[in-house]
Amino acid sequence: MMEINELKRLVQEAVDYQRERLFAISRWLYENPELGSEEFKASELLTAELERNGFKVDRGILGIPTAFSGSYMGKDKGPRVAVLAEYDALPGVGHGCGHNLIAASAIGSGIAVSKVMDKLKGEVLVVGTPAEEGHGPSAGSKVIMAEKGFWDNMDAVLMLHPSTRWSVGDLALGIWTVKMEFEGRTSHAAASPEKGLNALNAATLAYIATHMLRQEARRDANLVIHGIISEGGLASNIIPDRAVCDFGVRSSDENYLKLMVDKVEKCAEGAALATGTKVKVTKKKLYSSKKVNEPLTELLWKNHVALGVDMADWRESIRGMPMASTDFGDVSQRAPAAASYIKIAEENTPGHSRELADASVTPIGLEAMILGTKALAMTMIDLIADPENIERAKKYFNTH
Ligand SMILES: [Zn+2]
Ligand SMILES: [Zn+2]
């Protein structure tokens, strides 16, 4: 078998060879943004590109119309390594999250690796995962795919995401929503208050009790609780018979998050008991937290460093404060997974903005995508050409 460094050199060349094509894909998506679950043109563009390069493509996988899976087999069975594409835009700001570059990087790295698969045992997959921003029926498609077991037979999953700095290994918060619907009894607020059961009082108590949970929060688990009273009565002279609280609960620790969601539920039950009202609590998991796979993260980081990228040490990034939640978290709970952030704009550029969308088609943004694409392809080579790397990642996954 060819030496790993030689294979890495070949996939870098194969990314450079696609340079203008990847720029064109990024620009086309930028100019033709589609909201989540409606990315029909994007998924057609990307799957056609894969097919032109000899990939076997399945469209609309798992009943998700704009999802796809492209596969390229090596000379024999071996590690199955996937790279993920996202291609949904945001209302008003188009590709303000830069998913056009995620799509280009997945196509570019997958195709680059396919060019050396005749020398390797294994399979490279490019998987199209729609609606990351939560729009439409395919919202959070990676979660839907996780629930259907799609990630369970992957040996490793990689992706990149545009950002305002270079990093690998950042955590992501898991998120649950908790809805509390209180039911009381209306009554004249002045003439006969004793005949009422005040649902707004219950909601207020639950709101305060939930916020009090912060005081006993585990400091290393990055707990975030945010909520509103979304319904609180119709007129001040009527004791409200209905009030609703909507909370989001997030943490970087999956088990702790479940525990805290149960505690939030208890706050609602306690408030109902205190006020004599009834409560219906609906707990819903949106995204899982990200399970960092250290061996995989280190490989991805080393390949960026080898390319000369000035990137913070991955060991610092995993200790950093996680800000966002993503459906990639659910992938990372099912298979060894790692993601990189590529710097396409200055540090103070806000996410989900017109400015970030524009940055995705500047020379700086496009060159960052090319570098990130090379690092993804090189990491896939590390995994497919040296199954010991897969074993290390799997062992870590199974023991953490
Ligand atoms: Zn976003
Ligand atoms: Zn995004």
The two three-digit tokens of residue 370, written as one number: 């090319």
**From the CA of 328, how far away is ligand 1's center (Å)?**
12
- The answer to whether residues 130 and 259 touch, using CB atoms and an 8 Å cutoff, is no
Q: Quick check: helix, strand or coil at residue 108? A: helix
**From the CA of 212, how far away is ligand 1's center (Å)?**
30
217 with 123, same domain: the answer is: no
Rounded to an integer, the average pLDDT of 297-314 is: 97
- The answer to whether residues 299 and 4 touch, using CB atoms and an 8 Å cutoff, is no
64 with 152, same domain: the answer is: yes
Per-residue pLDDT, 337? 98
246 with 145, same domain: the answer is: no
Per the structure, the count of domains in the chain is 2
Last residue of a domain, one of 242, 269, 287: 287
- Compute the distance between CA of residue 230 and CA of residue 212 in angstroms, rounded to an integer: 19
Query: Closest-lying ligand to the alpha carbon of 133?
Result: 1
**From the CA of 352, how far away is ligand 1's center (Å)?**
6
Per-residue pLDDT, 320? 87
**DSSP letters of 36-95?**
TT--HHHHHHHHHHHHHTT-EEEESGGG-TT-EEEEEE-SEEEEEEEEEE---BBTTTBS
The two three-digit tokens of residue 244, written as one number: 């609703």
Beta bridge partners of 179: 246, 282
237 with 315, same domain: the answer is: no
- Compute the distance between CA of residue 85 and CA of residue 69 in angstroms, rounded to an integer: 10
Extended beta strands in 118-276, E state: 121-128, 156-163, 167-168, 174-183, 224-231, 242-251
Amino acid at 296: L
Last residue of a domain, one of 256, 287, 318: 287
Looking at the predicted structure, is the pLDDT value of residue 329 above 70? yes
The two three-digit tokens of residue 267, written as one number: 């706050």
Rounded to an integer, the average pLDDT of 31-39 is: 98
298 with 203, same domain: the answer is: no
268 with 326, same domain: the answer is: no
CATH number at residue 179: 3.30.70.360
- pTM for this entry: 0.91
Question: What is the chain's alpha carbon radius of gyration, rounded to the nearest angstrom?
Answer: 24
Per-residue pLDDT, 175? 95
Rounded to an integer, the average pLDDT of 83-112 is: 98
17 with 117, same domain: the answer is: yes
Residue closest to 253 by CA, chosen among 293, 212, 295, 220: 220
Per-residue pLDDT, 344? 98
**From the CA of 269, how far away is ligand 2's center (Å)?**
36
Per-residue pLDDT, 19? 98
- Sign of the C-alpha dihedral computed for residues 122, 128, 132 and 135 taken in this order: negative
**From the CA of 99, how far away is ligand 1's center (Å)?**
8
Per-residue pLDDT, 249? 96
Residue with tokens 């005749």: 118
Looking at the predicted structure, is the pLDDT value of residue 346 above 90? yes
Residue closest to 327 by CA, chosen among 10, 53, 99, 9: 99
21 with 149, same domain: the answer is: yes
Average model confidence (pLDDT) across the chain: 97
166 with 102, same domain: the answer is: yes
**Terminal-to-terminal C-alpha distance of the chain:** 33
232 with 348, same domain: the answer is: no
Q: How confident is the model at residue 35 (pLDDT cuts 50, 70, 90)?
A: very high
Question: What order do you get walking across the sheet with 121-128 strand by strand?
Answer: 56-59, 68-73, 121-128, 76-85, 156-163, 337-343, 167-168
Looking at the predicted structure, is the pLDDT value of residue 54 above 90? yes
The two three-digit tokens of residue 320, written as one number: 């950093």
Query: Closest-lying ligand to the alpha carbon of 328?
Result: 2
Per-residue pLDDT, 2? 75
Residue closest to 22 by CA, chosen among 388, 377, 386, 384: 377
Rounded to an integer, the average pLDDT of 262-267 is: 98
**From the CA of 90, how far away is ligand 2's center (Å)?**
9
Rounded to an integer, the average pLDDT of 14-33 is: 98
Query: Closest-lying ligand to the alpha carbon of 99?
Result: 2
**From the CA of 316, how far away is ligand 1's center (Å)?**
23
Beta bridge partners of 281: 180
| CA distances in angstroms from 62 to 99, 148, 198, 283, 391, listed in the order given | 22, 8, 46, 25, 28
Amino acid at 288: S
**From the CA of 399, how far away is ligand 1's center (Å)?**
31
Domain encompassing residue 267 = 174-287
Rounded to an integer, the average pLDDT of 305-310 is: 97
263 with 211, same domain: the answer is: yes
Span 201-218, pLDDT tens digits: 999 999 999 999 999 999
Rounded to an integer, the average pLDDT of 261-284 is: 98
- The answer to whether residues 35 and 12 touch, using CB atoms and an 8 Å cutoff, is no
Residue closest to 377 by CA, chosen among 81, 129, 99: 81
**From the CA of 97, how far away is ligand 1's center (Å)?**
5
326 with 342, same domain: the answer is: yes
Looking at the predicted structure, is the pLDDT value of residue 1 above 70? no
CATH number at residue 128: 3.40.630.10
Per-residue pLDDT, 324? 83
Last residue of a domain, one of 261, 287, 313: 287
- The answer to whether residues 160 and 326 touch, using CB atoms and an 8 Å cutoff, is no
